[in-house]
């Protein structure tokens, strides 16, 4: 799954599918026309490419995802940490918070997530 790479336009299209799935392909064309200003052939071209990548499926005119939004973005995040920080989550977090403050509530939420992880182990 982590080998699925999307460009900005493909990612936006996938977000539309995730927000509306399952969606009839004709309805998807109308949504993309309204939100992306696309013509029908553009929608079907991008749909075909994402089906070929294994992210979406178009069965009997109904489009749905094979990989959830959460799974996709989780894998994408893991890949960023791996590629940019040599797999070090602490290095990623240090880089992130060095440029953006986190609120006390966010810090507490992260602490709870870590505590819950420790309890599972």
Domains of the chain: 8-69 (1.10.10.10), 88-121 (no CATH)
87-110 pLDDT, tens digit per residue, is 999 999 899 888 888 899 999 999
Give pLDDT, residue 96: 87
pLDDT per residue as tens digits for the range 3-60: 678 999 999 999 999 999 999 999 999 999 999 999 999 999 999 999 999 999 999 9
pTM: 0.76
Position 2 pLDDT exceeds 70: no
Contact in structure between 89 and 81 (CB atoms under 8 Å): yes
């Amino acid at each position: 799954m982590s080998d699925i790479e999307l460009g900005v336009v493909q990612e936006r299209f996938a977000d539309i599918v995730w927000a509306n799935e399952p969606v009839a392909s004709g309805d998807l064309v109308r949504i993309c026309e309204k939100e992306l200003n696309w013509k029908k052939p553009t929608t079907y071209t991008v749909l075909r490419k994402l089906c070929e990548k294994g992210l979406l499926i178009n069965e009997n005119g109904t489009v749905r995802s094979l990989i959830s939004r959460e799974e996709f973005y989780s894998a994408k995040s893991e890949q960023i940490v791996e590629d940019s920080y040599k797999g070090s989550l602490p290095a990623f977090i240090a880089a992130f918070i060095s440029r953006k403050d986190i609120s006390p509530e966010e810090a507490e939420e992260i602490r709870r997530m870590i505590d819950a992880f420790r309890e599972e182990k």
